[in-house]
Chain A
Amino acid sequence: MRRPRAPLFLARAVYRKRRLRDAARLLPLLGFFLLVLPLLWDAAPGRGAGQTVVYIFGVWAGLIGLAAYLAPGLARPDADDQAEDS
């Protein structure tokens, strides 16, 4: 069998770019969710403080990494559909 051809979708770049923006909008919500998660943990004094520190710094670094991954695509100006789609 032949490989299926590229799906019939025009303006793929524009579509990608819009979804990239959606991702950028969702990122702080994801971050907030992950950062309030430790509140639900069993926080007995002296236990798990180190884990919590590592977890929070890990989430933090992850957010920075994701933001750095998204930023170049978002910053690139091109003349597709700058009209706000929100």
Chain B
Amino acid sequence: MSFNALVLTCLAYVAFLFLVAFVVERRASRGQMGFLRSPLVYTLSLSIYCTAWTFYGAVGYAARSGLEFLTIYLGPTLIFVGWWWVLRKLVRIGRQQRVTSIADLISSRYGKSNLLGVLVTVIAVVAATPYIALQLQSVTLSFGVFASATPESWALPNRDATAVWVAAGLALFTILFGTRNLDAKEQHHGIVMAIAVEAVVKLVALLAVGIFVVWGLGGGPVAMIERIETYADPNWVIQPGRWVGLIFLSAAAVISLPRMFQVMVVENVDEGHLARASWAFPLYLFLMSLFILPIAVIGLERMPADTNPDMLVLTLPLAEGQGGLAMLAFLGGFSSATSMVIVETIALATMLSNHILMPAWLWLRPKAALSGDLRGGILLARRLSIMGVLALGLAYFRLSGGSAALAAIGLIAFAGMAQVLPALLGGIFWRGGTQAGALMGLSIGFVVWAFTLFLPSFGAGAVMSAQVFEQGLFGLGWLRPQALFGTSGMDPLTHSIFWSLALNTAAYAVGSLMSFPDPVERIQGAAFVNAFDDEVQAERLGWTHGQAEPEALMNMAQRILGDEAAISFFEAEAGGQGKAGFLPDLTPAFLAGLERRLAGSVGAATAHAMISQLFGRATVTVEDLLAVANETAQIMEYSARLEEQQGELSRTARQLREVNEKLTQLSVQKDAFLSQISHELRTPMTSIRAFSEILTEGDLPAAMVANYGRIIHDEAKRLTRLLDDLLDLSVLENGTVQLNLELANLGDLIDRSLAAASQTRPERAFDIQRDYTKEEIFLRTDPDRLVQVFINLISNSRKYCDAADPVLRIAVRQKGGRVVVDFLDNGLGIAKESQGLIFEKFARLTDQSRAGGAGLGLAICREVMANLGGTVTYVPGQRGAAFRVTVPLRLEKTALAG
């Protein structure tokens, strides 16, 4: 097969991947997710764990150290079959907190500390750069295998150019599909689908080569096992330290590698997929590893001794003349390398732009944050990050010369990323973990890892001098990079894992115990550790699947927007989606529109919280809550103000109503007053006129003249009295009355009043009940005026009490500095509706005939009492009419001033 044909096949394959990603993105943007959201795609996308390191490197690893290569796949297997412990919680937290990367998770858990985000990003970039270089190297090598006439020769004249082309192509693909749009959830459906396709290709390729080797060359499985037994060399003995250490390391890596976190947590569309992946992903790893050992054994057996064991997957079929199989294997390796680079680059670019580039940019240009749309800036930062990460990988590849064995680089990257583990696990299981602890643990772990594993990996004399290797840092023997604190019994990798993670964990624990978290950190800590506590609540509310149905959204919208507005909005949206007459699909555009509409009614933060509560499992973050609280406080304040105003208004309205009622009655009374006064004045005037006319005619007997004269005189007296009363009242009302204050005995005053009042209807015999001892009170007041009031009340009683055996009780009490005199009779009393009116002028009640006076009596009484500094009131609820006179014991002149 010619080199050109190979390049052509490669390009065709890449074009196919572009097409897949493009079609999927198109479907996703129209909301047609369908099989994209299946557990199968999720599981296959997880397979980016198997990079070119697995595809080519595992065989080399097996050829060098036998079974040990299996540890790299057994660790993840244990983590996945034990998904109930860690993965389930990670995925849940990732969805709840809308986590975008592992750096984001750590920073978010420890109080949204950007410093931590930067630290994790730096570790991830440093650890991943050699790993990306490794992928470029493997692609370049595989090209080399095809380019050279004989598999044994590794010369590829334009090796660097190949790497540059590959890197550029990957950058293009990643930028096209990784930064097409800015999704809050950082999900890239097109890329996930392309990776799933690549996962199938690499699995099929490796299985095909394996089957060819076992059945075509090795003579079946049983014979194969025998071959393995005979070929096992002393290096194949399992070393206990490395075996356990590597299982642990790979288990840690599958959780903390940025690309694994990206596909496992960030790209997860349904938590249920994890359950399927819990066995399906280990099965994938199982199948990938199944034929590694046979390929290694047959390769070692058949190929020349100087063959690079890392390329056996490719060279073995070529040597056996299986061009097509070799092509498939090449594509498998190509898939492994490209998918890893793409996802790793996206994950790193997200971290770089979110935690380093954007904060730096906003710090340099604070105005940009206010101008609103940052999308352009963020996308640019992403693209630059992608190119930067790939450029770093390329630079590492060219500098290191691509010489190191593949397996070693992979393990170094694993160990570097595993430094995140203590802060990560501590963060989701221990509420006591703090930012200070995480910072200390991460930095110490990173430094120890770099000193004991990363820098030594360049070889003695490259970065660290040989002297440091032999005698330790600064000549201190206990600081030798591969025998820290004198522990020389472990191999360098185990040694580095042991010390970096031990010191990391210790620093994390001590730092956490000694420091005190701030409030956001504590809230976040509780939210992460108790990530599952909200389920009970959610299920009681009926959102079992955390997935909103359009009906539920419709209901909510109706409650908030009102029926008409909600229905017309939903209809318009459904029409826009071409589903007129049905409920619209829950596309991102629709949800965003709905959120905007709701935001108009309840505020942006609240709307966002409502939609995200209904639509996903996303829990509201602290910032969201604060924003909601802010809005709510404003609304509450506003409504409290409204309520206050309304209360004031209704009070005023009530007062106005009362006043109006009174005014109306007063107006009626005024009419009555006018007619009354004209009547009152007219009656005596009529008799006076009539009798005086008779008198002027003369010729009348003297007796008659005297009689008529007396009548005229009486009537004139009545007129005078009426006018006197009116005058009196107006004087009293104006407050210009002259009071003669002197000491008087209350009992005497009552005696006088009774005597005077007995003139009124003298034919009625009243039973007067008094308590003389209580009446022995000396008052300083105007006795004549007070007697006037008493007479009026007693006369009223005599006039109106309609009982057969009328009884008048006069009760006297002293209360504080006041004397209370009650006049109670056993009549019918005064009707309730009239009680408010009796003290008004001319307020004679219905029965005209029984009234002797002009209806000014009580009005005068009220004015008199007001002048005496007391009151006269009607006491309702007694059996008969009851009037209460309250008068001060000592009336001071000054009291009248007011």
Contact = CB atoms under 8 A, between A and B. Distances in A.
A67 B279 contact: yes
A25 B84 contact: yes
Interface in B511-550: 530, 532-533, 535-536, 539, 544-545
B282 interface: yes
Contacts of B82: 24-25, 27-29, 31
B238 A28 contact: no
Interface residues of B, number: 48
Given A60-B74, A64-B279, A43 B237 contact: yes
A53 to B, nearest CB: 6
Interface string A31-54: 110011011000101111110111
Interface string A7-31: 0000000000000010011011101
Contact of A60 (B83, B84, B286, B544): B286
Contacts of B234: 45
B78 A32 contact: yes
B289 to A, nearest CB: 8
Contacts of A47: 229
Given A50-B228, A64-B282, A71-B278, A45 B84 contact: no
B229 A50 contact: yes
Interface of A: 21, 24-25, 27-29, 31-32, 35-36, 38-39, 43, 45-50, 52-54, 56-57, 60-61, 63-68, 71-72, 74-75, 77, 79, 82-84
Contacts of A32: 78, 247
Contacts of A24: 82-84
B164 interface: no
Contact of A66 (B81, B247, B539): B81
B293 A28 contact: no
A54 B225 CA distance: 8
A41 to B, nearest CB: 9
24 contacts: A25-B82, A32-B247, A36-B240, A38-B238, A39-B238, A45-B232, A49-B228, A53-B228, A53-B293, A56-B67, A60-B282, A61-B286, A64-B77, A65-B279, A68-B280, A68-B283, A71-B276, A72-B275, A75-B272, A77-B272, A82-B536, A83-B535, A84-B532, A84-B533
Contacts of B539: 79, 82
6 closest pairs, A vs B, by CB?
A: A28-B82, A75-B275, A49-B232, A82-B535, A67-B279, A68-B279
A29 B251 CA distance: 13
Greatest chain A CB density within 10 A among B84, B229, B530 is at: B84
Nearest to B70: A56
Nearest to A23: B84
Contact of A46 (B81, B229, B275, B533): B229
A70 to B, nearest CB: 8
Contacts of B77: 31, 60, 63-64
A68 B39 CA distance: 13
A38 to B, nearest CB: 6
Nearest to B285: A60
A43 B240 CA distance: 11
B604 interface: no
B544 A77 contact: yes
Contacts of A74: 84, 275
Interface in B231-254: 232-234, 236-238, 240, 243-244, 247
Greatest chain B CB density within 10 A among A36, A67, A72 is at: A67
